C-alpha cells in the first residue's frame, strides 16, 4: 500500500521506516529538507511540498500526519485544498480530541475522511511497534487496516485467554482515538509520578547516616537512626523488573535511566507536559469523574518548573509574620 507521511521527526520517520520494511511504499514530506533526503536514502519517495506529496499518491489517497499539535491546523488547511472525495487524512499526533470532532466534520463536507489515531510507542516503535487507538469513520479505518497492522506490535494473547489482542483498535466516532490516547497519557503521568516518588524515598532513606547532616526540622533526631540506609536504587529498579507486581515497561525505562546515571546529574528536574494531562483533567471536571492521581501528577510537573516559587516565598513570609520564624537559608 502507498501512503503519504507528513512529519519526519523521531516518530514519523521511524513509522515510515517500519512501513517500508514491510513492503509498503511511503511518500515522505517534512518542512526540513534534510529529513526528507534521509528517508529518501532509505527507500522513500521524496516530496518537498505537500502538493508534490499529494500528486505522488494514487487515488483514493491516504495521508498520515505526525507533526506537533501546534502546526496540525496549518497543515490541514493546506491539505483541504489538495485532497479529493474519498481520500483519507490521519492525525497521528497528540491533538485535543475536541479538535478531531470539528476537523472530521470539516473534511466530511468535501467527502474526505478524517481519522484521529492516538499513537503510543515513542522512539522504540520502529523495533517494537506502535499501539494505535483509532477514531473516525469505521469504513475508512478498515481501508487502512494493512497500515495499522504493520505499524502495530505482534498480537498477544487476549486477557480473556481466548484469541489474541491486536496492537490497534477502532475506538469509535471522531475524537475517540485521541480521547483514548489522552486518558492513556493521563495514566502515564500518574504512573511516572508514583515511580519517581517511590525512588525518591529510597534515595532519601539515608538521612540518619553519620556522614550526612541531620535535618532536625523534618526528622526528629531520635528517629534518625531508623534512616541509615544506602540503597542502590538502580539495582532495586532492576530487581523489581523480575517478577514484582509493579513491573512494567515504564519500570524498564526507569531501570535503564538509573543504570546510566543513578544520581540523575544530567537532568535539571524541569518536567514539561504536552497537554494531554490538562485535557484529561478538564474532561474529568466536565464529567464529574474523580482523578486525584492525575491532578497531583500534573500539578507536580508545574511545581518542577518553579511555578510555585512565589507561593512558597509567601508561605515563608507568613510564618515569619505570625510566628517570627526566620527562613532557613540553603
Catalytic residues: 181, 188
Instruction: Identify which of 97, 35, 61 has the alpha carbon closest to the alpha carbon of residue 286.
Output: 97
Distance CA 259, CA 264 (A): 10
For the four alpha carbons of 65, 66, 67 and 70, in that order, the dihedral sign comes to: positive
Contacts of 81 (CB under 8 A, 6+ apart): none
Instruction: Determine the longest span between alpha carbons in the chain, in angstroms.
Output: 77
Amino acid at each position: 500500500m502507498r501512503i503519504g507521511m507528513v512529519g519526519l521527526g523521531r516518530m514519523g520517520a521511524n513509522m515510515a521506516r517500519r512501513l517500508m520494511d514491510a513492503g509498503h511504499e511511503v511518500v515522505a514530506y517534512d518542512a526540513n529538507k534534510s529529513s526528507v533526503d534521509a528517508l529518501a536514502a532509505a527507500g522513500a519517495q521524496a516530496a518537498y511540498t505537500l502538493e508534490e506529496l499529494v500528486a505522488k499518491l494514487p487515488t483514493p489517497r491516504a495521508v498520515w500526519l505526525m507533526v506537533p499539535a501546534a502546526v496540525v491546523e496549518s497543515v490541514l488547511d493546506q491539505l483541504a485544498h489538495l485532497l479529493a472525495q474519498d481520500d483519507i487524512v490521519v492525525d497521528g499526533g497528540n491533538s485535543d480530541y475536541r479538535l478531531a470532532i470539528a476537523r472530521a466534520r470539516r473534511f466530511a463536507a468535501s467527502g474526505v475522511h478524517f481519522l484521529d489515531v492516538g499513537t503510543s510507542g515513542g522512539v522504540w516503535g520502529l523495533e517494537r511497534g506502535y499501539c494505535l487507538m483509532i477514531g473516525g469513520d469505521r469504513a475508512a479505518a478498515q481501508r487502512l487496516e494493512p497500515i495499522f497492522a504493520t505499524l502495530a506490535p505482534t498480537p498477544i494473547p487476549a486477557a480473556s485467554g481466548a484469541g489474541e489482542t491486536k496492537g490497534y483498535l477502532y475506538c469509535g466516532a471522531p475524537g475517540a482515538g485521541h480521547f483514548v490516547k489522552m486518558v492513556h497519557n493521563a495514566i502515564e503521568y500518574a504512573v511516572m509520578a508514583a515511580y519517581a516518588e517511590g525512588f525518591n524515598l529510597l534515595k532519601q532513606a539515608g538521612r540518619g547516616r553519620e556522614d550526612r547532616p541531620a535535618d532536625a526540622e523534618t526528622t526528629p533526631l531520635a528517629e534518625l537512626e531508623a534512616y541509615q540506609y544506602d540503597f542502590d536504587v538502580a539495582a532495586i529498579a532492576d530487581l523489581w523488573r523480575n517478577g514484582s507486581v509493579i513491573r512494567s515497561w515504564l519500570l524498564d525505562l526507569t531501570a535503564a535511566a538509573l543504570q546510566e546515571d543513578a544520581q540523575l546529574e544530567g537532568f535539571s528536574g524541569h518536567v514539561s507536559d504536552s497537554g494531554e494531562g490538562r485535557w484529561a483533567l478538564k474532561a474529568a471536571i466536565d464529567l464529574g469523574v474523580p482523578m486525584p492521581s492525575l491532578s497531583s501528577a500534573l500539578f507536580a510537573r508545574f511545581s518542577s518548573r518553579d511555578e510555585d516559587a512565589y507561593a512558597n516565598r509567601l508561605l515563608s513570609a507568613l510564618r515569619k509574620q505570625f510566628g517570627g520564624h526566620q527562613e532557613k537559608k540553603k
